[in-house]
Amino acid sequence: MIKHIPYDSLGHHNYNWLDARYHFSFARYFNPERMGFGALRVINDDRIKAGAGFETHPHENMEIITYVRSGAITHTDSKGNKGRTGRGDVQVMSAGHGIYHSEYNLESEDTTLYQIWITPKVKDVDPQWAQQAFPKTPVENELALLVSGFKADKDKGALYIHQDARIYGGRLKKGQKISHSLNQQAYMLVANGQITLNEQKTLNAGDGAEIKDLDHININATEESEILIIEVPNVKH
C-alpha cells in the first residue's frame, strides 16, 4: 500500500526567519490524523534564512536526524560538540537523558533541510552527536545507507541511532530506474525532482509517501531527483 502525501497538504507556518512545512503534527500545526508513522514522529521541511536559526533549547529521549538539502547548518551543544553540515550531508543527535543544543544558518544564503525525529528503543542513553559527508554523484544501482540503528551497518559508514530504523538517500539521473528492498514500513521524501513509485504514484518535489505491506518498491526518476527513504518499525509513540 502506498499513500501519497502531497506537499500542498502539509502543515505550514512561516515564522519569518523560518518557513516550515510539517508532515506530522508539530508546534502550531495539529492534525489528529497526522501524529506520526510508527517510530517516526517528526518530519519538518524547513527553510531557514541566512544568519538565523534555532537558539539553545533542550531535548531528551529522541533520535534527531538532519538532512541538509541546500546551504548548511551549524550545530553546537552542551556536550561540547560543534560542526557544520552542508548540502547532501547528515547529522544525528541522540538526545538521551538530556542535551541542550542550537542550530544556526551561518551562511549567506537560505538553508533548506529535513529535520527527522525517531523515537528511541531505549531511553536515557548518554547524549551523542555525529555527522557524515556522503557522495554527491548520482547513485548507480542502489541508494546509500545514511543512518541505521543496526550496529552491523556502522561498518558500511552509516550514522548510528538508537532505533531499529534505516534511512537511505541519494540522487537519481533523469530516466534512471532502481528497485529498493524494504524490511519494514517506510516513508519516502522527494527532496527535488519527480519520481513514480511502482508505476502507480507520481511524487513531485516536496511530496511524501507512506509505504506499507510491500517487500520492495520500483522507483523511476522522470526528472533528475533527490530522495530519502526512512524505514521504521511499526511501534507506538
Per-residue pLDDT tens over the stretch 160-209: 999 999 999 999 999 999 999 999 999 999 999 999 999 988 999 999 99
Read off the pLDDT band of 3 (50, 70, 90).
very high
Which H, E and C letters describe 107-142, residue by residue?
CCCCEEEEEEEECCCCCCCCCEEEEECCCCCCCCCC
195 within 8 A of 220, measured Cβ to Cβ: yes
Mean pLDDT for the chain? Answer: 96
Residue 237 has what pLDDT?
60
Residue 117 in this model has a pLDDT that exceeds 90? yes
**Radius of gyration of the chain from its Cα atoms, rounded to whole angstroms:** 17
Q: Which residue has the cell 517487500?
A: 215
pTM (two decimals):
0.96
Interval 92-99 mean pLDDT: 98
CA atoms of 21 and 46, how far apart (whole Å):
6
Residue 40 in this model has a pLDDT that exceeds 90? yes
CATH topology of domain 2-231: Jelly Rolls (2.60.120)
CA atoms of 123 and 195, how far apart (whole Å):
37
Residue 236 in this model has a pLDDT that exceeds 80? no
| Longest alpha-carbon distance in the chain | 48
3-state DSSP call for residue 153? helix
